[in-house]
Amino acid sequence: MKIPFKYNLRSLFVRRGTTLMTILSIAFVVLVYVGVLALAGGLRVAFTASGDPRNVLVLRDGAKTELESFFDEEKRRQLAALSGVAKGQDGQPLASASVYIIQILKRTDGSESNVSLRGVEPAMFALRPQVALVEGRRFEPGRSEVIVGQSLAKRFPGLRLGNDIAFGRVRFKVVGVFDAAGGSFNSEVWGATRDVSDAFRRGSSASSMVLQTASPEAAARLVKVIEGDQRLKLKPMLETRYYAEQAGTNAQQFVILGSILAVVMAVGACFAAANTMFSQVSARAHEIGTLRALGFRRRNILTAFLIEAGLLGVIAGVLGAVLALPLNGLTAGTMNAVTFSEISFALRTTPNILAGGVLLAVVTALIGGFPAALSASRRQITALLRER
Amino acid sequence: MRKLALRNLLRNKLRTLLTVISLVLALVLLCFLTAFLDLLENTSAAADNRIVVRSAISLATPLPEAYWRRLETLPHVTGITPLNWYQGTFKDDRPENFFPRFSADPATVFEVFSELEIPAEQLAAWQQDRAGFVAGKALADKYGWKLGDQIFIKGDIYPVDVNLTLRGVFTVPAVPSSERQVFFHRRYLEEAMSNPGIVGTYFLAIDSPDNVAAVTKAAEAMFVNSDAQVRAETEKAFQLSFLEMMGNVRLLFTAIGLAVIVSILFIVANTMAMAARERTTEVAVLKTLGFSQGQVLSLVLLEALVVGLAGALIACGASALLIGVFSAGLEKVMPLFGTLAMTPRAWAIGLGLGLLVGLFSGLAPAVSAARLNIVDALRRVA
């Protein structure tokens, strides 16, 4: 016969001080785990939201990032004329060059970071329908105007709507703020290609080119076509892959940090759980003896204490997850290790991460509780009953 | 008194052991976090009499080579050398094969970076071979390079690959972590790109640290009306700017550290409370025997402090050992620009927090034991 579940619940409640402290200690382990992984999760979302599976990004052969890449106008014309490139409503190819530059700017708190500035062609807006203005208007080419991703507008005082700001040797006016649906473009400043390259004396060379095709399959075909063209000497890749790699590079450090912290802290909390369960067992020796005398078997006792430990873990896990929930949506900024520039993102406590945290707590409590449960079930009835 | 506290700790050996182990784990974690933060903020390799001049736009934008001669004319400047971050790929993309590779000027680089030591004949051999390179000793040892060995690095930032021959090995006795870099001729790179005349950063040696501020200002003022404005700063400020770009690392680490401490406080406090509760009757007996409130208080507190101290000592010892092992392993997979070490701050955090946790966890049970009413306690069955 099974020992009723109510017995476990009530036993935990009898020694609520001890129980609560153990629960809190495990809950904080979960909090740290979820918090650090939410950073990784947020970075991943910011990058994956940027890539479109139909798009092909073209860099100079040998360059790993847009920052290092450059090629001339002639090659860009050839790329835009390729047959796989889709046409927009105006009949023009859905292809836009980017002049990608980073420049040091001051954050609100006075610290400094590199900010991404991207000169784009009009087709870029047709290519990226997720980019929508939330304030102001689009820039007009030739007038030294820029629009700013909304994360940057918040974090860099110089980039507020209506401000004048020097990029290179030219002062630009911020005429609009845009949102790119949480993507990494939210951490970029956009202007017209010519205006940006003039400000930095880049001549006619651009950093990269993005080409939109009809479908992901067509994009894969276009990659092959460009790769096969020996005269171009360019490196095409699926845009989703480019951003997935950045997501990986940037998120990985937080995944490693979070995992190491979680494991070490969990081992520590395991011992706390062991302590609590041992004290439960020794305080209830008489009770256990009585249960055994009533006919409950050793394995019933083992199960009962394991359930109790598990229950402790579940409560702690859920509490830790609840404590971590307010982190969701908090914005953080760090350096994109690939382009060397500021990337803002919102922390994401995804269901997967939360579930991982709860699981961590349950496993911690079960491992911690097992030795105590085992010793409770192993002892002789007579010895148990003799204890006070 | 003291004996009583120690005896009490040994009464439930398992519990004391479990508590100390969990305390040790948490403190080791904190020591590692502190050591890592110290490594990131470590600027001991930075000379206080050198300044870095780079483009005011960002490090990704180079300066003209012509600035070399102009910067040289500034007062108090005793030497100047250009460095370009070449980066490139050696062997493959794996992080363990990453190390800094610079194109440098062989005539001046060892003068400005005077802490780098190289045998005179090796330096001369490098200066004469345009396709030669010099490597730090730690790096040469890692790859087993000998003089005359050739390496190939594929360009990424620069659209040029380089084939280099080892001509010299330098040491940096003061900062061995600086031995993990490679310098090769800047003319080799320049010629391969048909002489664009670009310099990533200029390093200026100043006659005295007192003049650094003045030279920094003068260097920036020199180019304020030109197309390529510059930013001049001390080598230390330059290194810290990388940390600044990473955003609030310190805040993240502090937040994690706080959560670890709170968690461990609950664990130790829990044990102390359990220990005190079990001995309610005993405390009453002690009081009956004439022990004062203060004595009872210090008895329980002492017990907690001993746990805290034991945890702190073991944790610091273990951290010092583990950090050594870990950093040796870490250098293989992910070379850092320094060596992880048990810094004084890590010692302070480990010892201080261990004692504090002991103190705070013992406080509540100690006070309640001291306040215990003898009659009630003796009547109560534990």
DSSP one-letter string for B342-377: --HHHHHHHHHHHHHHHHHHHHHHHHHHHT--HHHH
CA dist A66 → A59, A176, A300 (Å): 7, 24, 64
Query: Which among A323, A292, A308 has a CA at the least distance from the CA of A372?
Result: A308
Phi and psi at residue A342, in whole multiples of 5°? -60, 135
Q: Which residue has the tokens 């974690």?
A: B29
B247 touches chain A (CB under 8 A): yes
Greatest CA separation found in chain A? 94
Contacts for B66 with CB less than 8 Å, ≥ 6 apart: B197
Provide the residue type at B209 as one letter. Answer: P
**CA separation for the pair B23, A9 (Å, rounded):** 28
Looking at residue B194, the DSSP 8-state letter turns out to be T
A41-74 per-position pLDDT tens digit: 999 999 988 999 999 999 999 899 999 999 999 9
pLDDT above 90 (res A385): no
A333:B247 CB<8 A: yes
Band of residue B64 on the pLDDT scale cut at 50, 70, 90: very high
Tokens 């990784």 sit on residue: A40
Least confident of A139-148, A334-343, B52-61, B332-341: B332-341
Residues of A with CB below 8 A from B364's CB? none
Is residue A164 predicted with pLDDT exceeding 50? yes
Instruction: Give the strand pairing for A145-149 and A188-192.
Output: antiparallel
SS3 A70: coil
Q: For residue range B134-168, what is the model confidence (pLDDT) as tens digits?
A: 999 999 999 999 999 999 999 999 999 999 999 99
Residue B206 reports pLDDT greater than 90: yes
- Domain boundaries in chain A? 5-48+246-386, 55-212
Chain B residues within 8 A of A39 when measuring between CB atoms: 252
Average pLDDT of the segment spanning B13-34: 90
- The continuous run of DSSP H or E covering A335 comes out as strand A331-336
Name the CA radius of gyration of chain B, rounded.
30
Decide if pLDDT at B13 tops 50: yes
Residue A338 has pLDDT above 90, yes or no: no
CB contact under 8 A, B256 and A272: no
How far is residue A140's CA from residue A8's CA, in Å, rounded to a whole number?
A: 70
Residue B1 confidence class, pLDDT cut points 50, 70, 90: low
> CB distance from B334 to chain A under 8 Å?
no
Averaged pLDDT, B200-209: 96
Does the pLDDT at position A243 exceed 80? yes
- Strand A112-120 relative to strand A208-212, pairing: unpaired
Q: With the C-alpha atoms ordered A252, A257, A258, A264, is the resulting torsion angle positive or negative?
A: positive
Question: Across the interface, do B58 and A103 touch by the CB < 8 Å criterion?
Answer: yes
Instruction: Specify the pTM.
Output: 0.87
Q: Which two tokens stand for residue A9?
A: 């619940």
B334-355 pLDDT, tens per residue? Answer: 666 667 889 999 999 999 999 9
- The CA–CA distances, whole Å, from B100 to A34, B139, B336 equal 35, 10, 10
| Amino acid at site A343 | I
Mean per-residue pLDDT, B87-112: 93
B22–A272 C-beta distance less than 8 A: yes
Q: Which residues pair with B46 in a beta bridge?
A: none
Q: What is the structure's pLDDT at A275?
A: 85
- Give which of A362, A367, A365, A353 is closest to A259, Cα–Cα: A353
pLDDT interval class at A388 (50, 70, 90):
low
State the DSSP H helix or E strand holding residue B133, giving kind and residue range, or none if neither.
strand B132-136
Give the closest-approach CA distance of A303 to chain B in angstroms.
23
Dist. CA A54–CA A64, nearest whole Å: 21
Q: Is the pLDDT of residue A296 over 80?
A: yes
Closest partner residue to A271 (CB to CB) among B21, B156, B274 is: B21
- Candidates A63, A112, A265; nearest CB to B29: A265
Judged by CB atoms closer than 8 Å, whether chains meet at B59 and A21 is answered as no
CA B292 to chain CA centroid, nearest Å: 49
Partner residue opposite A340 with nearest CB, options B60, B244, B264: B60
- Specify the 3-state DSSP secondary structure of B79: strand
CB-based contact B266 A278, cutoff 8 Å: no
CA distance B183 to A312: 59
Percentage of the residues of chain B whose pLDDT score is greater than 70: 97
| Gap from A89 CA to chain B (nearest CA, Å) | 37
Average pLDDT over chain A reads: 92
Closest CA to B180 of B128, B221, B125, B138: B138
Chain A's closest residue to B249, CA to CA, is A334
A340: left (phi over 0), alpha (psi -120 to 50) or beta: left
Of A62, A64, A264, the CB nearest to B29: A264
Instruction: Please check whether residue B51 is in contact with residue B81, taking contact to mean a CB–CB distance below 8 angstroms.
Output: no
Asked if B57 lies within 8 A of A104 by C-beta distance, the reply is yes
Q: Which of A256-270, A368-382, B19-33, B267-281 shows the lowest per-residue confidence on average (mean pLDDT)?
A: B267-281
When CB atoms are compared, the residue of B19, B59, B273 closest to A18 is B273
Q: Is A94 exposed, middle or buried (0-12, 13-18, 19+ CB in 10 A)?
A: buried
- In this predicted structure, the answer to whether residue B382 has a pLDDT above a threshold of 50 is no
The dihedral through the CA atoms of A129, A130, A134, A139 has a sign that is negative
| DSSP category for residue B223 | T
pLDDT band, residue B48 (cuts 50/70/90): confident
Which residues on B lie below 8 Å from A18 (Cβ)? 270, 273-274
pLDDT tens digits for range B288-338: 888 888 888 888 888 889 999 999 999 999 999 999 888 877 766 666 666
Contact of A336 with A151, CB cutoff 8 Å? no
Measured between CB atoms, does B269 come within 8 Å of chain A?
yes
Measured CA to CA, the distance from residue B378 to residue B276 in angstroms comes to 15
Give the residue with greater pLDDT, A1 vs A168: A168
Provide ipTM, 2 decimals.
Answer: 0.83
Give B60's contacts (C-beta < 8 A, 6+ positions apart): A67, A101, A102, A114, A340
- Residue B41 CB burial class (10 angstroms; 0-12, 13-18, ≥19): middle
Chains A and B form CB pairs within 8 A to the count of 147
Task: Label residue A1 by pLDDT band (50, 70, 90).
Answer: low
| pLDDT over 50 at A38, yes or no | yes
- CA gap A237, A144 in Å, rounded: 31
Mean pLDDT of A339-361: 93
Chain A CB contacts of B271 under 8 Å are: 275
Contacts of A113 in chain B (CB under 8 A): 244-245, 247
d(CA B167, CA B146): 9
Candidate from A34-38, A334-338, B127-131, B215-219 with smallest mean pLDDT: A334-338
Picking from A235, A258, A227, A288, the residue whose alpha carbon sits closest to that of residue A353 is A258
**Cβ separation A101–B274 shorter than 8 A:** no
Largest pairwise CA distance in chain B: 96
Q: Are B54 and B63 in contact (CB under 8 A)?
A: yes
* Selected residue with higher pLDDT from A135 and B284: A135
